[in-house]
Chain A
């Protein structure tokens, strides 16, 4: 029995594809050649690896990152297209009431329809310029701002449309830590998915930077220096400008001016009233995060690795944290759990590990107060 089997094995070898290779003397060298090729490849690799470390260091920049040496198939990624498509049924309902908010023709945020007569909730600090909203059915409308909540950086928009599908917002507390969360966008699958990291808490405020130097000879806020690459320079503030008020709050002294600016977070818009050459001007400036003439701290550097962060990302009275990696232009839209229930609205991409969202129960109250306003 055994002998027969071995013979069969040999026969199949001899009946190669080409008749030339039938005889054993051709088959064996082929094996040998393939082995030699293997050795020829592996020897230089081995030689390099045992070489001096310095050589590797010189090559450091041209070398691929360790993981680039192996391929990562997209289906393996936690927020890859394959996993995302498993959420299609979950977000189907919410998707109909999600809009793309565009300013000056560029995608800047997502939004959710919260009133059938065209009320849309979105992220406020992404809205300078002419606003349009594109609905799930591809219709595009011009929008105007009807209410803003600066604490949560949310805005209520109004478009001229009726009988729109709306999001069902229930006053439920957010799901448990570890629950899947999907960020709904305009596509059939979600923009990105992740899990609940931390339940609602207050996100601390951090002061923004305007980028001006003040005259310390007088008590009034007179600008003596405008630093390059800051919000002050972009807004066109100039030397010798006297700041009269910040967001309609008068600033008679330097201390008052500094305090008013520090109340605001990076990414917040400021309305400044300044006196220049006897004229009174209104200037809109945007606060920036760190002082641009300083190197980023380790924390800032690491948080910006791998993803772009929202400008306005600190200081929210109540927000839950999830690990979904989204673009800053995908903030403002609804987040749903596995039941398809809207559990919140994305507020900001805040760090490498974190995205903040306002819980649905808080959002309901905010919408009411913005409507009333």
Chain B
């Protein structure tokens, strides 16, 4: 501990010395000028966070909310400080260089506290743009295999109500981190399926639907519960990451499949990687090469590289609220309005060039408008209809809430009915954000 304090004092002194050297007034413009250099010093920010983690706690187990708050404040304090100082630091390359040397040596010290040591040679390889040869690939492989051995046992299948997702145990006393849409509400009964075959009971705690994060507490956790520490920092773009989860639901004869990828994009409330995800993975962990949880899986998009995760740093902001069982964010209105499919609730077929209704589903619009099985739909809004496919096409053109006028032939007579179109949850959600993942048990 004392080393760190002394070191920081030294670092601070160095920075101050660098700043005092010049007239601060000259640097006003540089704030704008060097804002494009943001990513260049982003790595610096991350290392400060690592340093603070080392100060605040030993191993990064996040069950103590106070500790989390302290660390979070530290990180945010540092971020604020750095956002002011960074342009100046950037200008002073000499100081930056000194800082870098210092931070690298500190990193080595911090590594000792990590669950898996990231050897210096592996670190050198993963910080490159890409691996150049077989030796470098082999170094990555060794590290990934070590991480896999830790990450897979701590990955659980989460069953809540009709839904199935994944989760990751993050403390020895049985706290499970998962996605908000996997648990939905607080205080529901949950079943946790461990890869070793154990089934544990749990209760859902809070959920943050704004960012899609949730928690489950295992009831009576066994003593030998495997868990992963969490990393209180945003992933870096280009960082190598490993994901696990239970895609397509938990299968008895399949351990959680491992996937390897890299961070492609980072924002405040999402991380995008090329680790492929699919329904059922939701809530599973994104793990860095030190074996720490960096994010949980949330959603996917239409391209194979659109896999979205919620960063743990963002979840930590509401950590205590989640522990207290609070549910917030994500109104029902937005859920419904963007994911509706028009429906009138009939089944039918084409018969002799006519659209015959063979079944009318109860309490759906067609039923309420008085349609019956055996009806023949002759026209929709004045356009003739000759097959059931044509009728469905007409319905799909409409929006829920609109009205369509059907001309119906029934036992020789022709009647007209107005059907108000309803909406059901679309199996294919559409929206500007990524598709939300399966909540149903596949």
Give me the interface of A with B, judged by CB distance under 8 Å.
Answer: 6, 9, 31, 34-35, 38, 53, 56-57, 59-60, 63, 65-67, 70, 72, 75-80, 82-83, 86-87, 89-90, 176-180, 194-199, 201-202, 295-299, 301-303, 305-307, 321, 323, 325, 338, 351-354
Which B residues lie within 8 Å of A31 (CB)? 29
Is the Cβ of A67 less than 8 Å from the Cβ of B300? no
Smallest CB separation, A314 vs chain B (Å): 12
Task: Sort A-B residue pairs by CB-CB distance and give the 7 closest, nearest first.
Answer: A306-B304, A197-B257, A178-B145, A299-B442, A60-B432, A178-B148, A178-B144
Which B residues lie within 8 Å of A75 (CB)? 129-130
Contact partner of A297 (CB less than 8 A), chosen from B137, B141, B145, B442, is B442
Mark the stretch among B104-112, B266-274, B316-324, B356-364 that contacts chain A: B266-274
Mark the stretch among B49-57, B180-188, B248-256, B409-417 that contacts chain A: B248-256
Known contacts A86-B136, A296-B427: does B141 contact A179 (CB below 8 Å)?
yes
Interface check B378, CB cutoff 8 A: no
Interface check B352, CB cutoff 8 A: no
Is the Cβ of B247 less than 8 Å from the Cβ of A353? yes
Is the Cβ of A325 less than 8 Å from the Cβ of B276? yes
Interface check B134, CB cutoff 8 A: yes
Considering only CB atoms and an 8 Å cut-off, how many residues of chain B contact the other chain?
A: 68
Interface check B32, CB cutoff 8 A: yes
Residue from B152, B302, B304 having most chain A Cβ neighbours under 10 A: B304
Is the Cβ of B272 less than 8 Å from the Cβ of A66? yes
Interface check B292, CB cutoff 8 A: no
Is the Cβ of B302 less than 8 Å from the Cβ of A323? no
Smallest CB separation, B137 vs chain A (Å): 6
Closest chain A residue, CB of each to CB of B279 = A302
Smallest CB separation, A105 vs chain B (Å): 28
Is the Cβ of B281 less than 8 Å from the Cβ of A82? no
Which A residues lie within 8 Å of B300 (CB)? 302, 305-306, 352
Which A residues lie within 8 Å of B258 (CB)? 177-178, 195-198, 323
Is the Cβ of A86 less than 8 Å from the Cβ of B134? yes
Is the Cβ of A83 less than 8 Å from the Cβ of B247? no
Closest chain B residue, CB of each to CB of A297 = B427
Known contacts A72-B265, A78-B262, A306-B302: does B144 contact A299 (CB below 8 Å)?
no
Known contacts A57-B338, A352-B276: does B264 contact A201 (CB below 8 Å)?
no
Q: List 19 A-B pairs, Cβ < 8 Å.
A: A57-B337, A60-B430, A66-B270, A66-B434, A67-B301, A77-B305, A78-B274, A177-B255, A178-B145, A180-B137, A195-B260, A197-B259, A296-B427, A298-B279, A306-B300, A306-B301, A321-B254, A352-B276, A352-B277
Interface check B96, CB cutoff 8 A: no
Which A residues lie within 8 Å of B337 (CB)? 57
Which A residues lie within 8 Å of B247 (CB)? 351-354
Known contacts A195-B144, A323-B259, A353-B259: does B130 contact A298 (CB below 8 Å)?
no
Contact partner of A83 (CB less than 8 A), chosen from B131, B255, B437, is B131
Is the Cβ of B431 less than 8 Å from the Cβ of A82? no
Contact partner of A70 (CB less than 8 A), chosen from B23, B265, B442, is B265
How far is it, in angstroms, between the C-alpha of A75 and the C-alpha of B434 when the chains are bound?
A: 24
Interface check B138, CB cutoff 8 A: yes
How far is it, in angstroms, between the C-alpha of A202 and the C-alpha of B428 when the chains are bound?
A: 30
Closest chain B residue, CB of each to CB of A74 = B130
Which B residues lie within 8 Å of A53 (CB)? 334
Residue from A83, A87, A89 having most chain B Cβ neighbours under 10 A: A83
Smallest CB separation, A262 vs chain B (Å): 20
Closest chain A residue, CB of each to CB of B245 = A353
How far is it, in angstroms, between the C-alpha of A179 and the C-alpha of B431 when the chains are bound?
A: 37
Which A residues lie within 8 Å of B304 (CB)? 305-307, 325, 352
Is the Cβ of B248 less than 8 Å from the Cβ of A198? no
Is the Cβ of B132 less than 8 Å from the Cβ of A86? yes
Smallest CB separation, A10 vs chain B (Å): 10
How far is it, in angstroms, between the C-alpha of A78 and the C-alpha of B260 when the chains are bound?
A: 8
Taken residue by residue from 224 to 253, chain B's Cβ proximity to chain A (1 for < 8 Å, 0 otherwise) reads as 000000000000011000100001100001
Is the Cβ of B428 less than 8 Å from the Cβ of A301? yes
Smallest CB separation, A205 vs chain B (Å): 14
Which B residues lie within 8 Å of A305 (CB)? 278, 300-304, 435
How far is it, in angstroms, between the C-alpha of A148 and the C-alpha of B171 when the chains are bound?
A: 51
Is the Cβ of B278 less than 8 Å from the Cβ of A90? no
Taken residue by residue from 320 to 354, chain B's Cβ proximity to chain A (1 for < 8 Å, 0 otherwise) reads as 00000000000000100110000000000000000
How far is it, in angstroms, between the C-alpha of A368 and the C-alpha of B130 when the chains are bound?
A: 41
Interface check B314, CB cutoff 8 A: no
Closest chain B residue, CB of each to CB of A38 = B32
Smallest CB separation, B303 vs chain A (Å): 5
Smallest CB separation, B169 vs chain A (Å): 19
Is the Cβ of B129 less than 8 Å from the Cβ of A82? yes
Give me the interface of B with A, judged by CB distance under 8 Å.
Answer: 23, 26, 29, 32, 129-134, 136-138, 140-141, 144-145, 147-148, 152, 237-238, 242, 247-248, 253-255, 257-262, 264-265, 267, 270, 272, 274-279, 281, 300-306, 334, 337-338, 427-428, 430-435, 437-438, 440, 442
Is the Cβ of B305 less than 8 Å from the Cβ of A352? no
Is the Cβ of B145 less than 8 Å from the Cβ of A176? yes
Contact partner of A90 (CB less than 8 A), chosen from B23, B132, B134, B136, is B134
Is the Cβ of B431 less than 8 Å from the Cβ of A198? no
Which B residues lie within 8 Å of A179 (CB)? 141, 145
How far is it, in angstroms, between the C-alpha of A87 and the C-alpha of B132 when the chains are bound?
A: 9
Which B residues lie within 8 Å of A59 (CB)? 432
Which A residues lie within 8 Å of B140 (CB)? 180
Contact partner of B148 (CB less than 8 A), chosen from A9, A56, A83, A177, is A177
Is the Cβ of B264 less than 8 Å from the Cβ of A76? yes
Is the Cβ of A302 less than 8 Å from the Cβ of B257? no
Which A residues lie within 8 Å of B303 (CB)? 65, 305-306
Is the Cβ of B264 less than 8 Å from the Cβ of A198? no
Closest chain B residue, CB of each to CB of A57 = B338
Which A residues lie within 8 Å of B302 (CB)? 65, 305-306
Smallest CB separation, A336 vs chain B (Å): 12
How far is it, in angstroms, between the C-alpha of A3 and the C-alpha of B29 when the chains are bound?
A: 21
Known contacts A177-B152, A195-B259: does B278 contact A338 (CB below 8 Å)?
no
Is the Cβ of A78 less than 8 Å from the Cβ of B137? no
Which A residues lie within 8 Å of B147 (CB)? 178
Is the Cβ of A56 less than 8 Å from the Cβ of B265? no
Is the Cβ of A72 less than 8 Å from the Cβ of B305? yes
Known contacts A178-B147, A305-B435: does B255 contact A198 (CB below 8 Å)?
yes
List 7 other contacts, CB 8 Å, given A86-B130, A87-B137.
Answer: A67-B272, A177-B152, A179-B141, A180-B140, A323-B260, A323-B275, A351-B278
Closest chain A residue, CB of each to CB of B349 = A225
How far is it, in angstroms, between the C-alpha of A105 and the C-alpha of B237 when the chains are bound?
A: 43
Is the Cβ of B431 less than 8 Å from the Cβ of A60? yes
Known contacts A78-B261, A353-B259: does B442 contact A298 (CB below 8 Å)?
yes
Contact partner of B301 (CB less than 8 A), chosen from A65, A303, A353, is A65
How far is it, in angstroms, between the C-alpha of A178 and the C-alpha of B26 when the chains are bound?
A: 52
Which A residues lie within 8 Å of B141 (CB)? 178-180, 195, 338
How far is it, in angstroms, between the C-alpha of A149 and the C-alpha of B152 when the chains are bound?
A: 34
Which B residues lie within 8 Å of A60 (CB)? 338, 430-432
Which B residues lie within 8 Å of A35 (CB)? 32
Is the Cβ of B440 less than 8 Å from the Cβ of A298? yes
Closest chain B residue, CB of each to CB of A62 = B432
